[in-house]
């Protein structure tokens, strides 16, 4: 049982599945804070340099966890990142793994001008369900939810489902606190 007054949610999945869009809408609708780990890594120096081949920061996970621990432990965050296994179980109340059809994902990543090696690695990761398995291996089964994000309609449905979960979490934790 969480000791926070607000839950922490991870929205994870392969790049291009709609994590940031989901998080932005959820933050606007719920008052939870959108925590873009990519921005934290860059803005707070939680990296060991930049990988030119993959056009991304090399994350120092220890620095990252140290940089966000005090904030996240308070609750009320929607964590937006392509990985979830580094966050302690005690910090997290719901893990949402977004999935997309690999053809759509390819088109989305191509439109972002991903280098071919990075594009292929992400497509392979999605096909092999790497991030879904990581979530299942790292957290209790009852807090991991797999949702598809192929269309605007699915995204709207996902947001409504997460908002419903949040309302139930608040109700359960208010009742249990009394």
Residue 18 assigned ligand-binding role: yes
The CB density around residue 26, as the number of other CB atoms within 10 Å, is: 22
161 assigned ligand-binding residue:
no
**C-alpha to C-alpha distance for 163 and 8, rounded to whole angstroms:** 13
59, 11, 60: which is closest to 36 by C-alpha?
A: 11
| Token couple for 162 | 């997460």
- 42 belongs to an annotated ligand binding site: no
Does 20 belong to an annotated binding site? yes
Please indicate if the annotation marks 148 as binding a ligand.
Answer: no
Q: State how far the Cα of 75 lies from the Cα of 170, in Å rounded to an integer.
A: 12
**Which DSSP state fits 89?**
G
Residues contributing to the annotated binding site for ATP: 16, 18-21, 112
Residues contributing to the annotated binding site: 16, 18-21, 112
């Amino acid at each position: 049982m969480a000791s926070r007054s607000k839950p922490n949610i991870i929205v994870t999945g392969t790049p291009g599945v709609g994590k940031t869009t989901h998080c932005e809408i959820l933050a606007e609708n719920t008052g939870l804070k959108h925590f873009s780990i990519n921005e934290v890594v860059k803005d707070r120096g939680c990296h060991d340099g930049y990988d030119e081949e993959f056009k991304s920061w090399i994350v120092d996970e220890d620095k990252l966890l140290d940089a966000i621990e005090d904030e996240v432990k308070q609750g009320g965050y929607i964590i937006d990142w392509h990985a979830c296994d580094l966050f302690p179980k005690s910090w997290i109340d719901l893990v949402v793994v977004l999935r997309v059809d690999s053809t759509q994902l390819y088109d989305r990543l191509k439109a972002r001008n991903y280098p071919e090696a990075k594009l292929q690695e992400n497509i392979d990761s999605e096909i092999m369900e790497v991030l879904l398995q990581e979530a299942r291996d790292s957290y209790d089964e009852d807090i991991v939810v797999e949702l598809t994000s192929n269309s605007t309609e699915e995204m709207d449905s996902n947001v409504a489902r997460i908002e419903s979960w949040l309302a139930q979490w608040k109700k359960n934790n208010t009742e249990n606190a009394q």
